[in-house]
Amino acid sequence: MTVTGTNWVLSIPSITEAGTNYAGTYESATNQVILTVSVPLLLGNGKISVHYEPNPIWNASLVLSAKRTNNGNTVCALCTITGGTTYQTVTQTDIELFRIQAILALASYTGINIQLQLSGVSVTIPATTYNSKVVFTISAI
């Protein structure tokens, strides 16, 4: 699997009026992360999982989510890609994002777009810079 894209740098606007809060939920571009995935013929099926790693700090009140926004491109007539089209909360433990299934063929997809969402942004979270690294893995079902 190859993962490309750019860092999502989110600038939260300043609060200018007493008693107000932040919007709370923010979305990246629909193609913030682009995956190229190949499932070997012997494996036949694969699942793509995702987790995050604080880099170096993250606040547990912030909720990072991910979803697949397209099917990508493939020349495999008997291959399917399923799941992951609604936001799923990304944790520090791998969660399955979507599956690729192939019948008697090498399943190879390019241009699978992933969108990220950040929620839980609030004035109650200490003001600082929070960073995390999103990690994608492929494995047998």
Which two tokens mark 66?
A: 């991910």
The DSSP annotation for 29-93 comes to: -TTSEEEEEEE-TTT-EEEEEEEEEESS---TT-EEEEEE----B---TTEEEES--S-EEE-SS
Do you find a cis peptide bond into 54, omega within 30 degrees of 0? no
Over residues 2-26, the pLDDT tens digits come to 999 999 998 877 766 766 777 779 9
pLDDT digits (tens, 9 = 90+) for 113-141: 999 999 988 888 888 889 999 999 999 88
Q: How far is CA 109 from CA 23, 72, 112, 140, in A?
A: 35, 6, 7, 16
Task: Return d(Cα 126, Cα 63) in angstroms, integer.
Answer: 15
Q: Which residue has the tokens 């993962």?
A: 3
Question: What confidence score (pLDDT) does residue 28 get?
Answer: 96
Residue-level pLDDT at 132:
95
The tokens 């079902």 sit on which residue?
A: 141
| Helices and strands per DSSP (H, E), number in the chain | 0, 10
Which residues have C-beta within 8 Å of that of residue 107, sequence separation ≥ 6? 37, 38, 39, 44, 46, 74, 76, 79, 100, 101
Of 5 and 103, the structure prediction assigns the larger pLDDT to 5
Residue whose pair of structure tokens reads 């995390």 in the numeric block: 132
Mean pLDDT, rounded, for 20-35: 89
